Structure 1
Amino acid sequence: MDYALVQRPKVDGLRTAGTFKFGIEEEYFLVDAETKSVVRNMSQPFFEAAKAATDGRISPEFLQPQIEVISSPHDNVADARAELRALRRTISTVAAEHGLAILAAGTHPTAAWRSAQQTNKERYDSVMHDLQMIGQRDLLCGLHVHVELPDPDQRIDVMYRMLPYLPLFLALSTSSPFWQSRRTGLKGYRLAAYDELPRTGVPDLFRTQEEFDAYVTALVRAGVIADSSYIWWAIRPSLLNPTLELRAPDSCTLVEDAIAIAALYRTVARHLYVNPWRNADLDAVARAIIVENKWQAQRYGVHATFAAEEGAMTVAEMVERVICDTAADAAALGCTAEINRCRAIVGSGTSADAQLAVFEAHIQSGSPGTALRAVTEWIAAATLQ
């Protein structure tokens, strides 16, 4: 992200609402254009050409079959959509010139993690040394959304109060029903694999910046991590930018789904910032319920039923409640239509539902390999819709 780190005035009393600029990072699989199988090694000629074509808004990832795109900061959702679509199409065009293609999904249906090679970079060398085989298994792609708060010092407070929404963002994004050429039985397998890593999952109940800083300081002093960028929770304060970064979602196959989730997260961030009473009393019971709901989202996607102290709630019901609660915030940010799309995601299903439907349609008359090939072809086509 290209946010400038600047001093912002603090306002006594009511919190003022700013523009809540946001940016999107998407991870894609790099595949052979013909077979749609992941490449073993990153093509440097491709990467250099794609970097030039996108003005540097592409980055290598931990493993070589993956790339990441990084949007500009935006305060207009239409501009973010246009840029994200342009980035996908530009990279796809360059990839085609090198016999490659991109797939946007949380997992690649047939990729074998044992064949993936680590990207040559000092930071990644250190991470792989620490994680060992767990790092080799990190052949996963996510959607990360950064939102800048008017007062960055409030990021830990907003993160704490954002925790109940994490399962919803995940459910809406699920795009990883396959792993190692097998149906996993989950709509979102990605986090099942990713949560093998340390310092992942739902954050603990940090209430203040001081508490978070004390945690990071203890780990740094012990030599466990170099800095807070090695904390990979489902949501975290960015080290480099004055943003709160959502990391729970799978990489969305459809651009419109990615934009809807980004808009919803941005809207909820604004709502929590200007309403500091919302979710201000989370405790150990609440966090335990959030962890359970995260599992329900992984297992069932938008068909999940979430637990709450007052009873059960479907994903559809939670979407309606959140849209109702944050209507004024969505209107202020100009993204009412985008968060309303979350209703359509619930109604028609996520990428995971579509992938499974394609698989079932082809397994009836073909082999599992043929059906999986059809799934990868669908992902490749839908990535550019």
Structure 2
Amino acid sequence: MDYALVQRPKVDGLRTAGTFKFGIEEEYFLVDAETKSVVRSMSQPFFEAAKAATDGRISPEFLQPQIEVISSPHDNVADARAELRALRRTISTVAAEHGLAILAAGTHPTAAWRSAQQTNKERYDSVMHDLQMIGQRDLLCGLHVHVELPDPDQRIDVMYRMLPYLPLFLALSTSSPFWQSRRTGLKGYRLAAYDELPRTGVPDLFRTQEEFDAYVTALVRAGVIADSSYIWWAIRPSLLNPTLELRAPDSCTLVEDAIAIAALYRTVARHLYVNPWRNADLDAVARAIIVENKWQAQRYGVHATFAAEEGAMTVAEMVERVICDTAADAAALGCTAEINRCRAIVGSGTSADAQLAVFEAHIQSGSPGTALRAVTEWIAAATLQ
């Protein structure tokens, strides 16, 4: 993303709010248009045509059956929605011309990771050498949301205080109930597989930029990583942009779900930035609870019950609390309607719930293979809604 670095304005020592410009990255599976099975390797003619059609807002991913789209930075959520929908439709049109289609989901229901080929790129060669079979299993698609803070130096502080919300963002996005042609029993299996990688999951309790820099420096000096872009936490400060990047969510099948989650994250980021007291006392107990809640989100999606020091809280209750707490921030950013959609996601379920419903409807009168085919057909159609 191409963000302009801004300086933080100060008024009487208090933080003032900026526009909180944001951008979205989505990963999709590239599939055969007829069978909806993932391709083994990237079609170069397709990729070049898609790159030209999207003005370069598409990039290859670590494994060739996947692609990523990268939105422009936006101040207005309606513009972000329009661009994201246009990117999906444009790439789909180009893909169809090459006998291909795209699927937006955290996992592909029937994909076999053993057959996926790695993309030829020096960085990816290095990653695969380090990860070995774990890298080969990384056939997973996520939603990444970048938010630019008025003062980029506050990203570690906001990241630290954002941790309790990570399970909520994940629960609202869950779209990965299948893996290797099997029901996993989880609504969000993607992170169960992704967290096999090093430097993933919930970050440790870094409170300052200096602490984070010391961690990165130690790893770089040891030759473990080349730079901080090899840190793949569920949330991280971007190396290339002055943004705080949310990485926990599954790739959302519905554009409206992706926009709702992006809007909620942006709203919470603003709220935390202008209220530096919020979540300023997280400790080891709090982080352990966050890790457990992340698991609950993976297992149950929007039907999860989260632990809290004061007692249990359902996802629906947490959504209501967050919307109430951040109402002024949502209004300031012009995204009240979008974060209110999170209520609808809780009420109707996520892509994972829809996929499982399609599977159950078809397994009654057919084979598992037929039911899974129906699921992939649903994902393909819903990706373009």
Taking structure 1 as the reference length, the TM-score comes to 0.99
Judged with a 3 Å threshold, the aligned counterparts in structure 2 of structure 1 residues 212 and 170 are, in CA distance, closer, same or farther, namely same
1:127-180 Cα distance to aligned partner (Å, 9 max, x none): 000000000000000000000000000000000000000000000000000000
1:204-219 equivalence runs, <5 A: 204-219=204-219
Give the match's secondary structure for 1:51. Answer: helix
Q: Are 1:245 and 2:260 an aligned pair?
A: no
The verdict on how the C-alpha distance between 1:304 and 1:334 changes in structure 2, with shifts beyond 3 A counting, is same
SS of 2:185 mapped into structure 1: coil
Contact 2:7–2:151 (Cα < 8 Å) also in 1 = no
Deviations 1:258-308 (A, max 9, x none): 000000000000000000000000000000000000000000000000000
Q: Following TM superposition, by how much is the alpha carbon of 1:6 offset from its aligned partner in structure 2, in angstroms?
A: 4.9
SS in structure 2 opposite 1:31? strand
How much identity, in percent, do the aligned residues show?
A: 100
Give the structure 1 partner of residue 92 of structure 2.
92
Query: Does the aligned pair in 2 maintain the 1:188–1:297 contact within 8 Å?
Result: yes
SS at match of 1:236: strand
Measured after TM superposition, the shift of residue 4 of structure 1 is: 2.5
Say whether 1:21 aligns with 2:18. Answer: no
Count how many residue pairs are aligned between Structure 1 and Structure 2.
385
How far did 1:314 drift? Answer: 0.1
Asked if structure 2 preserves the Cα contact closer than 8 Å seen for 1:261 and 1:342, the reply is yes
Give the Cα–Cα distance (whole angstroms) in 1 for the partners of residues 135 and 174 of structure 2.
22
Post-superposition offset of 1:126:
0.1
SS in 2 for 1:312: strand
Output the CA distance in 1 between the equivalents of 2:196 and 2:23: 27
Do the aligned partners of 1:104 and 1:252 also contact (CA within 8 Å) in 2? yes
SS at match of 2:369: helix
Look up the SS of the partner of 1:129 in the other structure: helix
Find the aligned partners of 1:64 and 1:364 in 2 and give their Cα distance: 34
Deviation by residue 1:89-137 (Cα, 9 ceiling, x = unmatched): 0000000000000000000000000000000000000000000000000
Bigger shift: 363-372 or 7-16?
Answer: 7-16
Contact 2:235–2:248 under 8 Å retained in 1? yes
CA distance in 1, matches of 2:273, 2:137: 37
For residues 317 and 273 of structure 1, the distance between their equivalents in structure 2, rounded to whole angstroms, comes to 23
In structure 1, distance between residues paired with 2:188 and 2:63 = 20
In structure 2, do the counterparts of structure 1 residues 6 and 313 end up closer, same or farther at CA, with 3 Å as the change threshold? closer
For the structure 1 residues 132 and 10, does the alpha-carbon distance in structure 2 shift closer, same or farther, using more than 3 Å as the test?
farther
1:189 equivalent to 2:154? Answer: no
TM-score, L = length of structure 2: 0.99
Asked whether the equivalents of residues 10 and 151 of structure 1 are also in contact (C-alpha less than 8 Å), the reply is: no
Counterpart-to-counterpart distance in 1, 2:9 and 2:84: 32
- How well do the aligned residues superpose, as a CA RMSD in angstroms? 0.7
Q: Residues 114 and 137 of structure 2 are in contact (CA less than 8 Å); yes or no, is this contact kept in structure 1?
A: yes
Matches within 5 A, 1:159-174: 159-174=159-174
Alpha-carbon distance in structure 2 between the residues aligned to 1:17 and 1:210: 24
Give the deviation of 1:225 after TM superposition: 0.1
Deviations 1:329-356 (A, max 9, x none): 0000000000000000000000000000
TM superposition shift of 1:12 = 5.5
CA distance in structure 1 between the partners assigned to 2:4 and 2:225 by the alignment: 25
Matches of 1:120 and 1:12, distance apart in 2? 52
8 Å CA contact 1:289, 1:308 repeated in 2 = yes
1:11 Cα offset (Å): 5.5
- For residue 5 of structure 1, report the CA deviation from its aligned partner: 3.4
> How is 1:113-192 mapped onto 2 (pairs within 5 angstroms)?
113-192=113-192
Check whether the contact 1:358–1:374 (CA below 8 A) recurs between aligned residues: yes
Task: Report how far residue 8 of structure 1 moved.
Answer: 4.7
**CA offset at residue 13 of structure 1?**
1.2
- CA deviation after TM superposition for structure 1 residue 368, in Å: 0.1
Shift of 1:9: 5.0
- Whether the 8 Å CA contact 2:9–2:15 is kept in 1: the answer is no
The question of whether the paired residues in 1 share the 8 Å contact of 2:253 and 2:382 is answered with yes
The C-alpha deviation readout for 1:333-382, integer Å capped at 9, x for no partner, is 00000000000000000000000000000000000000000000000000
Q: Residues 20 and 270 of structure 1 are in contact (CA less than 8 Å); yes or no, is this contact kept in structure 2? A: yes
Name the CA distance, whole Å, in 2 between partners of 1:286 and 1:190: 24
Q: 1:36 to 1:59 in 2, by over 3 A?
A: same
Counterpart-to-counterpart distance in 2, 1:13 and 1:5:
21
Distance in 1 (CA, whole Å) between partners of 2:17 and 2:7 is: 16
Is residue 9–residue 16 contact of structure 2 (8 Å, CA) maintained in 1?
Answer: no
User: Residue 166 of structure 2 aligns to a residue in which SS?
Assistant: helix
More off after superposition, 209-218 vs 12-21:
12-21
